[in-house]
Amino acid sequence: MERLSNLSYKNQRLLIILLFSLVPVALLLTFSYLPVFKMFQYSFTSWDGFSKKMEYVGFDNYKTIFTRPEYFTVFKVSLYYFFATFVQMGLALYFATILSFNVRLKNWFKGILFFPTLLNGVAIGFIFLFFFKPEGTLNTLLDLVGLGAWQQKWLLNPHLINISLAFASVWRYMGMNFIIFLGAISSIGSDIYEASEIDGANRWHQFRHIIIPSIKRILQLNLILAVSGAIGVFEIPYVMTGGSNGSGTFVIQTVDVAFKYSKLGLASAMAVVLLGIVILVTILQRVLIKEEK
Amino acid sequence: MKKTKAVTSLAALTLMAGLFAGCSSNNNTDNTAATNGGNTGTGTEATAAPEGDAAKDIKGNITVITQRTDIVDTVFKDYAAKFNEKYPDVKVNFEALSSYEDQIKIRMGTSDYGDVLLLPTSVAIKDLPEFFEPLGKMSDLEQQYTGLEERTVDGISYGIPVTVNFSGVIYNKQVFKDAGITEVPRTFEQFQTALQSIKDKTDAVPLYTNYAAGWTLTQWEADLATVAGDREYVNIAQVASDDNFVPGQPHYDLYKVMYDAAKNGLIEEDPTTTDWESSKADLANGKIGTMMLGSWAIGQIKGLATNPDDVGFMPFPTNADKILVPLSDDYNLGVSIHSQNKEAARAWVDWFINESGYPTTEGGGMSPVKGAELPEILKQFEGTDVTFDTLAPAKAGEEGWVDAIDKEAEIGLWQPDFKKVIIEAAIGNRKDSYDDIMKDLNDKWKAARAKITAAQ
Amino acid sequence: MQPFKYSAASFFKYLSLVLGALAALIPIIVVFFASLKTNAEYASTGPLTMPENWLNFSNYTKAFVDGKMLLGFMNTIIIVLISIAGATLTGSMMAYILARFKFRGSKLLMGAFLLATLIPGVTTQVATFQIINSLDLFNTRWAPILMYLGTDIIAVYIFMQFLDSISESLDESAMLDGASYWTIYWRIILPLLSPAIVTVIIVKGVNIYNDFYTPFLYMPKSSLQVVSTALFKFKGPYGSQWEVICAAIMIAIIPTLVAFVSLQKYIYNGFAQGSVK
């Protein structure tokens, strides 16, 4: 490969850009964009997902969606997760910050906080069913600490069910955000802190003026992903409640339409609508973040 | 098909260009994928397997897809060994899918869905010939099997039921005794009274819905024929009517039982965290009074009981003149149209149903083979006014309409969704009344029925 | 190291850490307890009741043998290793050109990767399945590997974040010595990226290890089961014993835990500081 260096840097640059992006872009197109493209195609048909008949029906599916407001009422469920997202980010950032300074048993705490992320989604569904049962972990705990009066039927009460599920979601994903933030914070050189301490900065100043700016990019990305994740919530409610008792989300609805009622065309149209909403919200976020600067 | 080729990303890239250009892949494997899926299977029909010496000549590898994840590595392996005693040159591989319907449906879009599989309930009856080998004329197969009408198109059968189930109420006799119920409740009113006495006089949950598992709620739909008291109701009268869910109709009465029980606090305390596995043990040991299930569950529940004789079966309550316990197919077993070893596949189907013992043991129902013995638990009904009968098939040309209307309407007769809504409404988590829910279902039914009947 | 001060602030700090740790652990401890209980014991005791016999490993042997966990581990290891190696390479290459070169289309590329992450994967299953099938990869280990290989934006971002802290003067001085970009990437950038690589390995590895839907859909053949699908076999409408499932969950957790514990010091002690001097 040493012959590369005989080329001028300009040509090298071109070559390296092409070479390095070839495989990722090929994979991206094959497994992300091609399926979306096909999904678009399906959304204009009445295909059931497996038979050889695929009738073109124009915009019928989209008409169906927009004339049925009940399809959109489920988005209020996303609000719970949306709110939970900020709790999750806040916790992750808080723990990542205090654990990047000197704390006793630091590595223990890091490991423990990260641990839930290592679990399998279905295991988590089961763990939390167990957790929220009437005689389950949470109520037993409340009893232990003398808060027996606070016991609830966490999944039965329609006002609590989504909060409970959002809690499970925070429990599951907080560790991942935490570890990513921790990684980003640990790449800040210690000399910067030292310099700031000489200038008399306290922890809050350091957090505000050193940590936040240097992990801004990761923070923004995580926020965008978390918000779009809140719109596309699927696994936790699906595994735990199957979307019943008012915990259904748009994606669960889409999956039901596709597989329970064999309307893949309609489901694809729903997925396209969902994707549109996610993209809109993301653009909105970026604009908002830009304005803040 | 050879599938051992490591595809490099570069190959994937050239392939993709090919896909975008709209032609099929040409990565020089002997790929017989979906491009030639149109053969109708005539001439290569999976005829009934030969006996005796001829059986030795059947060769090949077959893949059998099952939903029994629980016994695929144990019981099924034994089946394969026994099968090989008769057909030594057939190698049987198993694939078990845990969410069978969802996974198989995605695979049906390709040509790779095994050699022997269960006919998915989601494939419309009239589409069966697209995917499955004809097993023979129904008029011939009828001599040997029952329950063929559910998967027969134009007189040709595409599947044989792995077992035949009967549905109703599984109950704990000791709980009934403790509650002072001396006579098995027959009408809706008697049934609710019985549940109330269980609540008043025992610690047992009168009726356990198994709401959380979801699929358990679909078992209620199997009792529709009992409520109607007519074997022609489900496939004939139902599709002929616009008023499927109005008061006085079987569907309305059927789910009213569920609603009333939930409304009067006769179900489990917290439906959202029920656990199917422990419910079986609880019913077996007197912590639960009744559950609505199919016969397949009886064996499992008895197996968990300290006193198996406590586990009883009774028909679903009804106000009809005669009590009809419907016999309905479990999954049907069929052969994929894309199978490379149709003879071997067919041999497995026949052997599995006639010789493996599955229908009555693991399947937990009655054998579809004509002349097979009645299960022990049903012998109590001999000489009573309870009759066991299969459902009358749909009228010619109307095959699969119930299903088609159901899907078009997004009602989900065999899905848990609206049953969950009924329970949520009954315990006060929703504002709608029972009549609101039924009216909504009926409106959907009516609109979809108009659409489906017009399209035919 | 500052002297340890007992102040309200540090009390609150430790209280929050302990609470966080408890919240993270209790739901799992419950599973651990359940995995050591007998069937009868499981049915009759509360979740926080400790098991009678701490050495009751019968559920573990049952889960391991009946669930053919060993086979699952073999397949998982193969898939995880290849996918992670590939994803690390492609991710770091992508990050390298995006962070170091400003070229037309770099914004577009970035956007394309981000957009792909926003697509709810569940909804495109059917189309993806058709693609895998036409590549003739169904029921092979390559199906999930290729799908996991797809560079995800998280990896790219982590690498880019890290590249920002690696001074460009390093590249420049190497260029003065006549090194090619290729050499710079291999000899300078990649080694310096190690802490970020470890983070990416953890993040991706965990995702792949726990993902069940992809192997479930694309590799139903029983000889190709992975850990998470092995776990699933215990579940189903026909029979499952939760105490055995709990044991299976614990078995599935242990390797990740070991991998995590042995890799954690690399993550925590980002040694980016030394690179600039």
Query: Looking at residues B68-94, what average pLDDT do you find?
Result: 90
CB nearest to B407's CB, from A34, A136, A261: A261
For A180, the closest chain C residue by CA position comes to: C199
Tell me the chain C residues in contact with residue B278 when contact means C-beta distances shorter than 8 Å.
43
Per the structure, the complete domain to which residue A284 belongs is given by: 59-288
Domain tally, chain A: 1
Task: Classify domain B53-162+330-378 at the CATH class level.
Answer: alpha beta
pLDDT of res. B40 = 35
Report yes or no: B130 at the C interface, CB cutoff 8 Å.
no
Identify the pLDDT of residue A239: 76
Find chain A residues with C-beta within 8 A of C25's C-beta: 112, 115
What Rg value do the Cα atoms of chain A yield, rounded?
24
- Answer whether residue C37 shows pLDDT above 60: yes
Contacts of B130 (CB under 8 A, 6+ apart): A51, A52, B337
A202: which residues sit within 8 A by CB, 6+ positions away?
none
pLDDT band at C237; cut points 50, 70, 90: very low
Q: How far is A159 from chain C (nearest CA, A)?
A: 22
Lowest mean pLDDT among A285-289, B4-8, B296-300, B429-433: B4-8
Chain B: list its partners (3+ Cβ pairs within 8 Å): A, C
* Residue C245 near chain B (CB below 8 Å): no
pLDDT > 90: percent of chain B: 52
**Closest by Cβ to B3, choosing from C125, C136, C220:** C136
Contact A52 B38 (CB under 8 A): yes
Close Cβ partners of C261 (under 8 Å, ≥ 6 residues apart): A111
Note the pTM of the prediction, 2 decimals. 0.80
Positions in chain A whose pLDDT score sits under 50: 1-2
Query: Chain A closest CA to C84's CA: distance in Å?
Result: 14
Q: What is the mean pLDDT of chain B?
A: 84
Q: In whole angstroms, give the CA distance from residue B398 to residue B302.
A: 40
> Does the beta carbon of B105 lie under 8 angstroms from any beta carbon of chain A?
yes
Find the distance separating the first CA and the last CA of chain A, reported in whole Å: 44
Nearest-neighbour CA in chain B from C1: distance (Å): 50
Chains that touch C (3 or more CB pairs under 8 A): A, B
Give the model's pLDDT for residue A63: 92
- Report pLDDT digits (tens) over C44-58: 777 778 888 888 888
Q: B225 to chain C, minimum CA–CA distance in Å?
A: 24
Check CB contact of A201 with chain C, cutoff 8 Å.
no
Q: Is B5 exposed, middle or buried (0-12, 13-18, 19+ CB in 10 A)?
A: middle
Phi-psi region of A96 (alpha: psi -120 to 50; beta: other; left: phi over 0): alpha
State whether residue A151 sits within 8 Å of chain B by CB. Answer: no
What value does the CA radius of gyration of chain B take, rounded to a whole number of Å? 24
The tokens 């590369």 sit on which residue? A4
Considering only the top CATH level, what class is C66-274? mainly alpha
Q: Average pLDDT of B350-371?
A: 88
**Structure-block tokens of residue B187:** 């009408």
Over residues C169-190, the mean pLDDT reads 86
Contacts 24+ apart (CB under 8 A), C36-43: C37/C243, C38/C243, C39/C241, C39/C243, C42/C242, C42/C243, C43/B278, C43/B281
DSSP character string of B196-246: HHHHHH-SSEEE---TTTSGGGGGGGGGHHHHHT-TTIIIIITTT-S-SSS
- Tell me if B109 and A50 make a contact (CB, 8 A cut-off): yes
- Residue C229 or B288, more confident: B288
pLDDT value of residue A250: 86
Report the range of poorest mean pLDDT among B114-123, B284-293, C122-131: C122-131
Domain-by-domain residue ranges, chain C? Answer: 8-39+49-55, 66-274
Is the minimum CB–CB distance between A254 and chain C shorter than 8 Å? yes
Chain C nearest-CA residue for B101: C217
Tokens of A57: 């029906």
What is the distance in angstroms between the Cα of B80 and the nearest Cα belonging to chain A? 30
- Strand B156-157 versus strand B60-66 pairing type: unpaired
Choose the weakest-confidence range: A96-105, C104-113, C232-241: C232-241
Query: Is the pLDDT at B176 greater than 90, yes or no?
Result: yes
Asked if C182 has any chain A CB less than 8 Å from its own CB, the reply is yes
* Residue B365 forms contact with A (CB below 8 Å): no
- Report the residue from B127, B273, B429 with minimal CB separation from A129: B273
H or E element: which one contains B292? strand B288-294
B444 vs C: CB within 8 A: no
Torsion sign (Cα): B337, B339, B344, B347: negative
Confidence of residue B48 (pLDDT cuts 50, 70, 90): low
Q: Which residues of A touch B16 (CB under 8 A)?
A: 26, 29-30, 34
Q: What is the pLDDT of residue B207?
A: 96
pLDDT in tens, C85-98: 999 999 999 999 98
Whether B16 shows a pLDDT value over 60: the answer reads no
- In the predicted model, what is the mean pLDDT of residues C17-36? 87
Instruction: Report the CATH number at residue A117.
Output: 1.10.3720.10
Per the listing, tokens 């748009």 go with A250
A5 part of a folded domain:
no
Residue A32 to residue A35: CA distance in whole angstroms: 6
Asked whether the predicted pLDDT for residue B244 surpasses 90, the reply is yes
Q: Which residue of B has its CA nearest to A19?
A: B10
Q: Which of residues 244-273 of A touch B (CB under 8 A)?
A: 244-246, 256-257, 259-263
Q: Which residues of B touch A153 (CB under 8 A)?
A: 269-270, 272
Is the CB of residue B427 less than 8 Å from the CB of residue B262?
Answer: yes
User: What percent of chain A clears pLDDT 90, i.e. is strictly above it?
Assistant: 14
Give the tens place of pLDDT for each residue, B194-232.
Answer: 999 999 999 999 999 999 888 899 999 999 999 999 999
The pLDDT value given to residue B170: 95
Q: What's the gap in Å between the CA of A131 and the closest CA on chain C?
A: 7
Domain residue ranges of chain B, discontinuous segments joined by +: 53-162+330-378
B415 Cβ under 8 Å from any chain A Cβ: yes
